[in-house]
């Protein structure tokens, strides 16, 4: 079930934020979207989720335009995790995770239990969200998406505000999802996470695709210099690389 953006142009607030972008995203992989602030990463993710109507071009899922899909069918297929959503009510963990079943209009007890088990939330099921740590809250929100059993998981900066251990745990969960055949697309700011854990990287600058491909190609020092204006080198063994700034 391939997700394809074809000559995609997206506008927000009367201005164009993604311009003529084309990319093909494969399931079973982690695709990272990276770029400087204001590059259009979150807008692109919304467009890929079918939540932002293209001004031009299209997003298709296995050849079918997302714009033509019924919202419920789209929601069953694509799970979207916004960046640190503000949760309006002090709901307990279990009913919050259960919101992931809304597109299916069923209780989905098995899916909810599986999602909570995958993210080690069973002991927290009755705890209100106001009493969760940042890491626990991030796990709960991801579990909400997993409970919907989507074919694609699109997450906007899921690692933001998480400490190192929780970042690694969450990345491990996303890798498990990709290994299980789900497509995973994440907006990231940490280029080291993209380099070490993503299978495919889209580099955005000013709404345009500056580079695309496996991380070792898309995140070459020359591209980092061109896109971020920063001189940096990758150090360390593949899979454990870190970015060292300066020459």
Partner 1 sequence: MTRASLVFAALLALLFPLSLLAGRVWIAPADFGPGNTLLILGELRLPRAVLAVVIGGGLGAAGAAMQGYLRNPLADPGLFGIAPMAALGAVASFWLTPLLPPAWAAWSLPVLALAGAGLGMAALALIAGRTASDAAGGAGDGIALFTLAGLMLASLAGALTALAITLAPNPFALSEIVMWLNGALTDRSWREVWIAAPLTLAGVGVLALAARSLDALTLGEEAARSLGVEPRRLLVLLVAGVGLTVGAGVAVAGIIGFVGLVVPHLVRPLTDRLPSSLILPSALAGASLVLAADSIVRVLPLVTELRLGIALSLIGAPFFGWLLLRMRKGAL
**Minimum distance between the CB of residue 75 and partner 1, rounded to whole angstroms?**
3
Nearest to 44 by CA among 186, 142, 194, 167: 186
Interface residues with partner 1 (CB under 8 A) are: 10-14, 46, 49-53, 55, 67, 71-72, 74-76, 78-82, 85-92, 95-96, 99-100, 102-103, 105, 144, 148
Query: Looking only at Cα atoms, what is the longest distance across the chain?
Result: 57
- Classified as helix, coil or strand, 244 is strand
- Classified as helix, coil or strand, 206 is coil
Measured CA to CA, the distance from residue 219 to residue 196 in angstroms comes to 11
**Minimum distance between the CB of residue 27 and partner 1, rounded to whole angstroms?**
18
**Minimum distance between the CB of residue 231 and partner 1, rounded to whole angstroms?**
36
Decide whether 35 or 148 has the Cβ nearer to partner 1: 148
**Minimum distance between the CB of residue 178 and partner 1, rounded to whole angstroms?**
19
Decide whether 76 or 241 has the Cβ nearer to partner 1: 76
Decide whether 105 or 245 has the Cβ nearer to partner 1: 105
Q: Which two tokens stand for residue 21?
A: 């972008």
**Minimum distance between the CB of residue 86 and partner 1, rounded to whole angstroms?**
6
- Count H helices and E strands in the chain, helices first: 9, 12
Alpha helices in the chain (DSSP H): 41-48, 71-77, 93-98, 109-118, 134-147, 164-179, 191-197, 215-218, 221-228
Decide whether 69 or 243 has the Cβ nearer to partner 1: 69
Nearest to 158 by CA among 146, 121, 150: 146
**Minimum distance between the CB of residue 30 and partner 1, rounded to whole angstroms?**
19
Q: Say if residue 125 is exposed, middle or buried (CB neighbours under 10 Å; 0-12, 13-18, 19+).
A: middle
Measured CA to CA, the distance from residue 141 to residue 135 in angstroms comes to 10
Decide whether 86 or 222 has the Cβ nearer to partner 1: 86
Give how far the C-alpha of residue 146 lies from the chain's centroid of Cα atoms, to the nearest Å.
13
Decide whether 92 or 169 has the Cβ nearer to partner 1: 92
Decide whether 102 or 232 has the Cβ nearer to partner 1: 102
**Minimum distance between the CB of residue 12 and partner 1, rounded to whole angstroms?**
4
């Amino acid at each position: 079930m391939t997700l394809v953006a074809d000559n995609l142009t997206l506008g927000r607030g009367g201005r164009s934020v993604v311009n003529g972008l084309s990319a093909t995203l494969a399931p079973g992989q982690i695709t990272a979207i990276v770029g400087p602030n204001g590059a259009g990463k979150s807008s692109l993710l919304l467009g890929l989720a079918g939540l932002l109507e293209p001004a031009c071009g299209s997003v298709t899922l296995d050849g079918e335009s997302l714009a033509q899909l019924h919202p419920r069918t789209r929601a069953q297929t694509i799970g979207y995790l916004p960046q640190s959503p503000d949760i309006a009510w002090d709901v307990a963990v279990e009913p919050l995770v259960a919101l992931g079943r809304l597109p299916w209009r069923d209780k989905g007890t098995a899916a909810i239990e599986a999602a909570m088990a995958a993210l080690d939330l069973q002991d927290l099921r009755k705890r209100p969200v106001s009493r969760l740590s940042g890491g626990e809250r991030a796990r709960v929100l991801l579990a909400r998406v997993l409970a919907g059993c989507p074919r694609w998981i699109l997450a906007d900066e899921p690692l933001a505000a998480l400490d190192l251990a929780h970042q690694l745990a969450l990345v491990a969960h996303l890798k498990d999802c990709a290994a299980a055949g789900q497509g995973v697309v994440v907006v990231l700011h940490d280029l080291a996470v993209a380099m070490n854990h993503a299978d495919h990287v889209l580099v955005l600058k000013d709404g345009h695709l500056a580079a695309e491909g496996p991380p070792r190609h898309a995140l070459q020092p020359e591209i980092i210099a061109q896109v971020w204006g920063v001189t940096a080198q990758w150090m360390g063994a593949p899979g454990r690389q870190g970015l060292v700034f300066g020459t």
